């Protein structure tokens, strides 16, 4: 419906009706106002599946929801680095939502993985905002291609569950712009989500649900968002301030309490009714967009989507370690017995707890998948542990050890239980259950050929890493994860996933370790822009597995890195290409990663940042060219002096490789900034800073003449040789220009000095 017609409807509504429209009618529906032809519409949880609740609603997954298909969670889909694949998953979800008459799917969740402990990391994509933004945009485009909306969340700074309703996240502007805003920015600009969900927390003392800066100035005015902003469930504090800031819809229903507050504020002249009109207009824009594009023919084909879930999951699995143990030759006649050990081999953990928890159509574990593939006679099983509590069952352990000892290979299916990671609380440590770690240790004592298959939503410590030959990261791969695991273990599918996050050796290595989850209701993001690999790689710290890491059953060679130009302006684009060859014996896909480095910068920057990725599928011996396009933003940092992105003049490195620690090709380019940063000089400005500026330098003659700095420096370093020269140079370079008054010949006074400084500032 055209905006003009929507405004006409709004003009016919009473103030009370408009206030009602600004909150839900119940837990999941927007208001219906039959008098003016406004229908109700329903929203539903569902980043990786529909959690539609036909009966009593809740936001923690307690009450029953419809039977649906659970696709891989965000932690897994990001590991695919495959925007086309994620787009197809979005299309499937959109089709399901149409069939279930849902106007908006509440997702994707794109908050940055600041700490491995965040209880909701399994829903989030990455520690890297570029990757998170690209995956989110693909998901949104997929869902909305079926004329169903999405609600990108949780905007903004919701990077922990501890005190999430009250915590105040202290984040500086540059860190916000470079780390925590870009994933939302990319998705809003490139995919135009129908709605945005405001988070619970405060940022720098202000609730995000009451922040005009974030909800209007940045979201709408800078990025061009044209849908409605809804609150997270129960995130509203001051409803009137929310209206002023740009929070259109409160969820769930306030039972009329806050509707009355809106009405009273307007009647008292404390709230402009035009802002209420605008909020209603934004909501109706989406309500009618869905209703007018309703697809009555849409079908929720759960069986087909279950199969598709497995196809997605295998693209997301990451092969972390392989000392010649994988793939397992299940199909060869001489293949020996393979012990499948661990509860998750039969009943896998494949989704997280809380609002995204799906009532599944079907669940396929590795044991079932192996039987379906005809490998039943090759496999023996032992449960090994129970995940209801972290306590070793000695009988189960003994059975597992004996089973492993009698087999040729032992595959241990382990990971984090539901109780270890969920919405509403954070993890307390980065360990797997002690009973599972002990199981792996004991099996490794009697069986040299051990493979660990992990089920987890975020990194875990691996004290047994040197005692096993293979590690397969499944993440939380959806209800058909068993099929995906068996296809990878058997070699029917060559793994191609890459880690969307760094696995540190231990929790204490994480840059947020000393400031997570904060003190009381305040958490300070003191690590700034150094999140994830930006920290580990810059510090040259040893990690368990680096960002972007993932092995294959074949090998890939990189060659012929080319850049379209050696020199460019910040208004130009740069094309980068690299040839990738499958130099192994089996077909496979490689995720090619492009990083940009600014090795000589006037500001503190990470050693490298991801600015492009491409998935290349190759037959043995085949070569393809991966091509990337870089613009100013790929080279820029956020400069708070100008409140904008700025790319310094200078030399940059283009790094292409298989992970952040496996760079295969390098090239250098020179970039020239089209504008210089504004500079303001004072008498405290240093000689070295002033002499960098040609205009200011041209005015320095009288100051240098008056300062007699050469005479001073000569006498201070007598007898010290080269060290004296360095000391003198440093003293002069970092001395304030006012020193010409203290060590000068008397030809300069403060008035003359200030006059010169004033000329420096006149351009």
Residues annotated catalytic, as ranges: 232
| CA dist 219 → 179, 436, 614 (Å) | 16, 45, 28
Distance CA 13, CA 10 (A): 5
Q: At what angle do helices 394-405 and 434-446 cross, to 10 degrees?
A: 30
Picking from 78, 469, 19, the residue whose alpha carbon sits closest to that of residue 277 is 19
3-state secondary structure of 29: strand
Nearest to 259 by CA among 27, 567, 20: 20
Beta bridge partners of 579: 559, 625
Q: How far is CA 284 from its chain centroid?
A: 31
Structure tokens given for 87: 């787009």
CB count in 10 Å sphere of residue 720: 12
The DSSP result for 227-270, as a single string, is: SEEEE-TT--S-HHHHHHHT--BBSS--TTHHHHHHHHHHHTTS
d(CA 419, CA 547): 26
Question: What Cα–Cα distance (Å) separates residue 133 from each residue in 170, 594, 610?
Answer: 23, 16, 12
Dist. CA 12–CA 397, nearest whole Å: 71
Task: Report helix, strand or coil for 344.
Answer: helix
Q: Rounded to an integer, what distance in angstroms lies between the CA atom of residue 760 and that of residue 693?
A: 9
Q: For the chain, first and last CA: distance in Å?
A: 52
Contact residues for 347 (Cβ-Cβ < 8 A; gap 6+) = 363, 365
Residue 606's nearest CA partner among 548, 660, 642, 570 is 660
């Amino acid at each position: 419906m055209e905006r003009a017609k929507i405004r006409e409807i709004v003009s016919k509504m009473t103030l009370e009706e408009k206030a009602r429209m600004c909150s839900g009618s119940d837990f999941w529906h927007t208001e219906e106002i039959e008098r003016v032809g406004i229908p109700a519409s329903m929203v539903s949880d569902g980043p990786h599946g529909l959690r539609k609740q036909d009966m009593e609603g809740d936001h923690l997954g307690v009450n029953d929801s419809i039977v649906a298909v659970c696709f891989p969670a965000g932690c897994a889909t990001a590991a695919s680095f495959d925007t086309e694949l994620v787009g197809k998953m979005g299309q499937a979800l959109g089709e399901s939502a149409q069939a279930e008459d849902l106007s908006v799917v509440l997702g994707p969740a794109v908050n940055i993985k600041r700490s491995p402990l965040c209880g909701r990391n399994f829903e989030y994509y990455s520690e890297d905002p570029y990757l998170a933004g690209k995956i989110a945009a693909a998901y949104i485009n997929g869902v909305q291609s079926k004329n169903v909306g999405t609600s990108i969340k949780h905007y903004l700074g919701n990077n922990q569950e501890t005190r999430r309703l009250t915590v105040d996240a202290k984040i500086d502007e540059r860190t916000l712009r470079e780390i925590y805003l870009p994933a939302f920015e990319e998705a809003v600009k490139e995919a135009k989500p129908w709605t945005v969900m405001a988070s619970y927390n405060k940022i720098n003392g202000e609730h995000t649900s009451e922040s005009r800066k974030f909800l209007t100035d940045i979201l709408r005015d800078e990025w061009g968002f044209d849908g409605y902003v809804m609150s997270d469930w129960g995130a509203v504090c001051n409803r009137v301030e929310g209206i002023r800031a740009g929070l259109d819809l409160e969820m769930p229903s306030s039972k009329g309490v806050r509707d009355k507050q809106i009405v009273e504020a307007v009647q008292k002249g404390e709230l402009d009714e035009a802002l209420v009109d605008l909020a209603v207009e934004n909501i109706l824009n989406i309500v009618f967009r869905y209703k007018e594009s309703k697809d009555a023919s849409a079908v929720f084909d759960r069986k087909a989507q279950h199969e598709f879930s497995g196809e997605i999951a295998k693209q997301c699995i990451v092969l972390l370690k392989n000392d010649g143990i994988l793939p397992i030759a299940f199909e060869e006649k001489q293949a020996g017995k393979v012990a499948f050990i661990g509860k998750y081999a039969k009943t896998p953990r494949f989704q997280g707890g809380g609002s995204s928890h799906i009532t599944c159509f079907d669940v396929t574990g590795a044991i079932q998948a192996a039987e379906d593939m005809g490998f039943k006679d090759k496999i023996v099983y032992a449960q090994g542990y129970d995940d209801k509590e972290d306590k070793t069952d000695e009988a189960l352990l003994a059975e597992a050890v004996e089973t492993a000892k009698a087999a040729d290979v032992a595959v241990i299916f382990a990971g984090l239980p539901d109780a270890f990671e969920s919405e509403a609380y954070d993890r307390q440590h980065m360990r797997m259950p002690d009973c599972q770690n002990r199981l792996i240790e004991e099996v490794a004592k009697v069986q040299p050929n051990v493979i660990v298959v992990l089920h987890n939503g975020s990194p875990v410590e691996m004290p047994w890493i040197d005692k096993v030959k293979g590690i397969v990261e499944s993440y939380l791969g959806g209800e058909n994860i068993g099929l995906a695991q068996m296809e990878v273990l058997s070699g029917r599918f060559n793994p191609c996933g890459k880690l969307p996050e760094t696995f540190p050796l231990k929790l204490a290595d994480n840059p947020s370790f000393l400031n997570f989850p904060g003190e009381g209701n305040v958490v300070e993001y003191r690590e700034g822009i150094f999140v994830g690999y930006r920290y580990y790689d810059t510090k040259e710290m040893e990690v368990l597995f680096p960002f972007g890491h993932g092995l294959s059953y074949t090998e890939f060679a990189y060659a012929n890195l080319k850049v379209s130009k050696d020199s460019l302006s910040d208004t130009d684009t740069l094309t980068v290409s690299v040839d990738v060859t499958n130099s192994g014996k089996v077909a496979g896909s490689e995720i090619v990663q492009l990083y940009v480095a600014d090795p000589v910068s006037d500001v503190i920057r990470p050693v490298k940042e991801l600015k492009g990725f491409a998935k290349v599928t190759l037959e043995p011996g085949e070569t393809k060219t991966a091509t990337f396009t870089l613009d100013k933003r790929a080279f820029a940092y956020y400069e708070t002096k100008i409140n904008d992105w700025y790319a310094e003049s200078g030399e940059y490195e283009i790094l292409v490789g298989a992970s952040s620690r496996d760079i295969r090709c390098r090239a250098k380019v020179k970039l020239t900034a089209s504008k210089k940063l504004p500079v303001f000089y004072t008498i405290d400005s240093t000689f070295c800073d002033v002499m960098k500026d040609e205009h200011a330098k041209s005015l320095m003659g009288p100051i240098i003449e008056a300062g007699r700095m050469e005479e001073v420096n000569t006498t201070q370093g007598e007898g010290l040789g080269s060290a004296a020269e360095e000391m003198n140079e440093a003293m002069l370079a970092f001395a304030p220009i006012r020193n010409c008054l203290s060590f000068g010949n008397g030809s300069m006074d403060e008035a003359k000095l200030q006059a010169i400084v004033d000329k420096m500032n006149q351009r």
